[in-house]
Amino acid sequence: MNKVNLHTKAYAKKLDDNDELRKYRREFYMGETIYLDGNSLGLLSERAEKSVQEIMNMWKQLGIEGWTNGSHPWYYLSEKLAQTSAPLLGAKEREVIVTGSTTVNIHQMLATFYQPAGKRYKILADDAAFPTDIYALKSQLDLRGLGEEALVQVPDRDGILDEEEIIDRMNDDTALLFLPGVLYRSGQVLDMERLTKEAHARGIMVGLDLCHSVGSVPHELHEWGVDFAVWCNYKHLNGGPGAVAGLYVHEKHFGGSPGLAGWFSSKKAVQFDMKHTLEPEESAGAYEIGTPHVLSMAPLIGSLEMFGEAGIGRIRKKSLQLTGYMIDLIDSGIGSGLKVVSPRNPAARGGHVLLKHEYAAGICNALKAEGIVPDFRAPSYIRIAPVALYNTYEEVRLAVETLKRIIDNEEYLQFSNERGTIA
């Protein structure tokens, strides 16, 4: 039997010809590069551009009446976007709200649900967490007069967490478990269902950071019983730089007051009664704080529409095929010095592949010089994210072939091994 040559253009073309999501690529502004950084900032789509223009036209034509009239009334836009976000999260519509930023939403959730009492006062997190998560956790501990010993971080091993060790650290003094759905460096997918079940069996509240999983990995937050979650919308969901984020609160917590109350925490029907006593929404809307950033939500109208059509199941299937193809190409074509860190098990791998090399920054700079956009993460990691809605198998093939040449010929030595201001 003839062995398939993964490195041929013909093989990649066959995969592209059989891609059931290939039509969506035409809707994105791809530029002249091979863009493999969608896990940091997704590309602009024509639909997102159109929805921004619709919101701008509403402002131009309706002025203040745009809050309640027009195609996308601003007063209800956070809830409208929650409806289209909910299927990606496995949540009920009322459990989701598009609001704030990831860090603001973490503070809101902690102010509400982190309630240390007696010996149960510690927060269990991980050593591989994105920095903003740890900054927020430490800040909340400071506000409560607790020292950093109240924050327990499970160590990672080259970006990979041992779930058994996480469970072993769930002690009688743990009040809250806060973990990522997908680790931002390695792309490891945690078993969110299992960890939630184990935490709840021990009386521990569960919160998740879904910034690197939403839009690339399916979730069932309501069924799993996750207490709360936060995420950004500018990575896999292509909401644009600084797009308004989102949060989820399980309906079992409805009826309480938010830890950080504000103008938009109110029930919509009485908000303009202008009373000084808050009547919070009995939904995730209770955890909004200020007036929604309408112009920064506008791209999500078009982007989330696309996700509704494509379906997170099909997106996940192609995402795993793209990253699996990349790993197979690397395994069969690149020599020593480059290590694949991301899990080989597809069920444990998110939407990007993490590579390790001692000259990682230089390699990233060399790839960019070739028109290929990867992502560097300190101290020695390369993240490559082929996105299901707009990247092709041929782009993956070309990127790996270029990577092979750069490493085999040591072309990276011509470039600085220092990161840029933003990496």
Binding residues are: 102-103, 130-133, 209, 212, 234, 263, 291
Which tokens is 21 given? 């999501």
Place of tokens 């091993």: 157
Report phi then psi at 209, rounded to 5.
-100, 115
DSSP letter for each residue of 303-339:
HHHHHHHH-HHHHHHHHHHHHHHHHHHHHHH--TT-E
- The amino acid occupying position 37 is D
Helix, strand or coil, per DSSP, at residue 116: coil
Could you list the residues known to form a binding site for pyridoxal 5'-phosphate, using ranges: 102-103, 130-133, 209, 212, 234, 263, 291
Which tokens is 81 given? 């976007």
Which tokens is 380 given? 């020695």
Would the CA dihedral through 200, 217, 313, 4 be positive or negative? negative
Q: Give the burial class of 33: count Cβ atoms within 10 A of its Cβ; 0-12 exposed, 13-18 middle, 19 or more buried.
A: middle
At residue 342's C-alpha, the angle toward residues 6 and 110, to 5°, is 145
357, 397, 399: which is closest to 378 by C-alpha? 357
102, 37, 62, 98: which is closest to 298 by C-alpha? 98
Which tokens is 86 given? 């909910």
Q: Distance between CA atoms of 222 and 226, rounded to whole angstroms?
A: 6
105, 102, 107, 174: which is closest to 140 by C-alpha? 107
- CB atoms under 10 Å from CB of 218, counted, come to 15
Which tokens is 39 given? 């896990």
166, 165, 196, 173: which is closest to 122 by C-alpha? 173
